[in-house]
Amino acid sequence: MFPAQIVSNASGRWGSYRVPLPVEDRPRWQKGEIVGTSIAILLYRVCRCCRRIYVKLFHTIFHALAIPCIVVGFIAVLDSHNLNPGGAIPNFYSLHSWMGLVTMGLFALQFVVGFFSFLILLCCEGATAAFRASLVPIHATFGITTFMLAVATCLTGLTEKAIFGLGKKYSSLPEEALILNALAMVLTAGAIVVAYIIMKDDFKYRGHILITAQGD
Ligand code: HEM
């Protein structure tokens, strides 16, 4: 698959020898993103006995792992549109693409603000403790919103795939449709479980006071 693509796209408009990323791999990257983000979010509930600074670092690392998944998935879909052998397909016209853009924007904002506020500002931990503590609920709300939007974007993507890929065959529920629907159900179940764990008071980390006591 890859060598053939290299040859057939050797004069692609994105540059002479750029290897287009196969769009078939995109759902895998998206799953990687959702899994990385879910683990990152749940860390604050799972690692309740660890020092907060370690949890923060792992929270950041797992979110950072989602970044290549987002970038590769994004480039793959641009490639599949711009280098389509039957003629370029327009970009950013569908609901799925708009939701994807909003999700990527929110994710980037969350990451940058979280990184600077909760890690870099630790340089002046005493002076910034009140600010960091006041930012936690805002960050948590936008964080779970970003996660839900990522899941919703995947669901609209799967719907698009079913309608464009299977067309009228979709209603007769062939094997591909079953796989698509099952994947959508797994994503939905994951979103419900993550939301439940995040919202449930019993699972909450009770050490916010440690922001000042431990200085992290
Ligand atoms: C796109 C990136 C990010 C997303 C989607 C995100 C999402 C979230 C979510 C959903 C929560 C709530 C978790 C809970 O209530 O247990 C949270 C908490 C938190 N995040 Fe992030 N986060 C991101 C990046 C970061 C970064 C880079 C840092 C830097 C250290 C960070 C630091 C924190 C802290 C300190 C909390 C508070 C935990 C607590 O005390 O309850 N986040 N984040």
Provide the angle, in degrees to the nearest 10, between the axes of the packed helices 125-161 and 95-114: 160
Top mutation candidate among 57, 110, 149, 194 for ligand 1, by most atoms within 8 Å of CB:
110
Query: Given this model, what pLDDT does residue 9 score?
Result: 39
Distance 203 CA to ligand 1 centre (A): 15
What does the block give as tokens for 35? 């899994």
Output b/e per residue, 132-161; b: 16+ Cβ within 10 A: beebeeeeeebbbebbebbbbbbbbbbeeb
Query: Given this model, what pLDDT does residue 50 score?
Result: 84
Query: Given this model, what pLDDT does residue 34 score?
Result: 87
Output b/e per residue, 60-83; b: 16+ Cβ within 10 A: bebbebbeebbebbbbbbbbbebb
| Gap between the Cα atoms of 66 and 75, Å rounded | 14
Query: Given this model, what pLDDT does residue 135 score?
Result: 97
| Gap between the Cα atoms of 148 and 145, Å rounded | 5
pLDDT digits (tens, 9 = 90+) for 11-69: 344 444 455 656 566 666 677 788 889 999 999 888 878 888 999 999 999 999 999 98
pLDDT digits (tens, 9 = 90+) for 166-205: 999 999 999 999 999 999 999 999 999 999 999 888 877 6
Q: Dihedral sign, CA of 149, 70, 9, 11?
A: positive
pLDDT digits (tens, 9 = 90+) for 72-121: 889 888 988 998 888 999 999 999 999 999 999 999 999 999 999 999 99
Q: Which of 2-11, 36-45, 124-133 has the lowest mean pLDDT?
A: 2-11
Total Cβ atoms within 10 A of residue 22: 13
Q: Kindly list the structural domains of the chain, giving each domain's residue range(s) and its CATH number in brackets, ordered by start.
A: 31-201 (1.20.120.1770)
Q: Is the CB of 18 under 6 A from ligand 1?
A: no
Query: Given this model, what pLDDT does residue 12 score?
Result: 41
Residue 44: partners with Cβ closer than 8 Å, 6 or more residues away: 55, 59, 205
Q: Is the CB of 110 under 6 A from ligand 1?
A: yes
Query: Given this model, what pLDDT does residue 32 score?
Result: 72
Q: Which amino acid is at 94?
A: S
